[in-house]
Structure 1
Amino acid sequence: MHVLPSRIHTIIGLLVGVVLIAAPWIFGFADVGAAMWTAIVIGVVIVLSELTTTSPASPVKLVPMRIHVWMDVLVGLVLAVSPWIFGFADNDANVWVPHLVVGIAVIGYALITRTDDAAAARAPRAGTTTAA
């Protein structure tokens, strides 16, 4: 069930990316290197990814929304399992729970995103001409 418009997906993704970049200080795990850098790097990846999709809200339309959504699923999965991959799952909950919860959320909103509206936004409108 794809109910989330790609424009809203992009806005959510930008917010999630910015919050991930700030998460080490918001949740108090800036002193745990692996957790801090995982959140920052994945946050930057999400922001850059959202800025380059074919979504109507993206300024640089390079990556088709259909491919972007599956990249989000992969990024969300990496974020969700990162506490165990990078060895910070044994820390306090404020260190690893944000990674798990946000990773699952990224997967969730990616899987309910409409990709057809992004393609429609790129198509030329009837009665318009393009410069040769």
Structure 2
Amino acid sequence: MISTKLHGVLDYAVGVLLIAAPFLFGFANGGPEQWVPTILGATTIVMSLITRYELSVAKIIPLPVHLTIDLLSGALLAASPWLFSFADTIWWPHVGVGFLEILVVLLTRRRDDGVR
């Protein structure tokens, strides 16, 4: 199982990775293949800053809500190459990170480890 503290570390790392991925992997072309991970990455960071767990600055969002949003975000990211018709250009980072995000949600403890 993944602790809520480790989940927080992963959230910030994945958020930064999603924002940087289009530039790192050469698909920063202004299209949906760039904007989907960029928006989801920024959303992940903002949501992490306000989730009720160890690494946030404002403990507003309950952890179960955060995990549900992470699950939906991972599914959207994994499906985005086909939903937004760019699978012929690039798909593997979106699918890979999307499935990893879903896996992390499934392995994360469902409680906030005593954070109030």
Task: Tell me, yes or no, whether TM beats 0.5.
Answer: yes
Q: CA deviation at 1:18?
A: 0.4
Matched ranges for 1:37-48 at <5 A = 37-48=35-46
**How large is the RMSD of aligned CA atoms in angstroms?**
1.1
Q: TM-score, structure 1 length as denominator? A: 0.84
**Please, which of 78, 88, 91 is the counterpart of residue 90 of structure 1?**
88
Unmatched tracts of structure 2, length 5 or more:
none
Q: CA deviation at 1:32?
A: 5.6
Runs of 4+ aligned structure 1 residues displaced above 6 Å come to none
**Please, which of 103, 111, 114 is the counterpart of residue 108 of structure 1?**
103
Q: TM-score, structure 2 length as denominator? A: 0.95
Look at both structures and tell me which one has the larger radius of gyration over its CA atoms: 1
Which AA in structure 1 matches 2:88? Answer: D
1:121 corresponding residue in structure 2: 115
Unmatched tracts of structure 1, length 5 or more:
123-132
Kept after mapping to 1: 8 A contact 2:4/2:113: no
The percent of aligned pairs where both chains have the same amino acid is 38
Kept after mapping to 2: 8 A contact 1:6/1:114: yes
Instruction: Give distance in 2, aligned partners of 1:46 and 1:121.
Output: 19
SS at match of 1:115: coil
For residues 33-90 of structure 1, the C-alpha deviation after alignment (integer angstroms, 9 at most, x for no partner) is: 1101111111111111111111111111111111111110001000000000000011
1:36 corresponding residue in structure 2: 34
Instruction: Give distance in 1, aligned partners of 2:115 and 2:85.
Output: 43
For residues 11-48 of structure 1, the C-alpha deviation after alignment (integer angstroms, 9 at most, x for no partner) is: 10110000110111100101261101111111111111
Which AA in structure 2 matches 1:87? Answer: S
Number of equivalent positions: 116
SS at match of 2:115: helix
1:64 corresponding residue in structure 2: 62
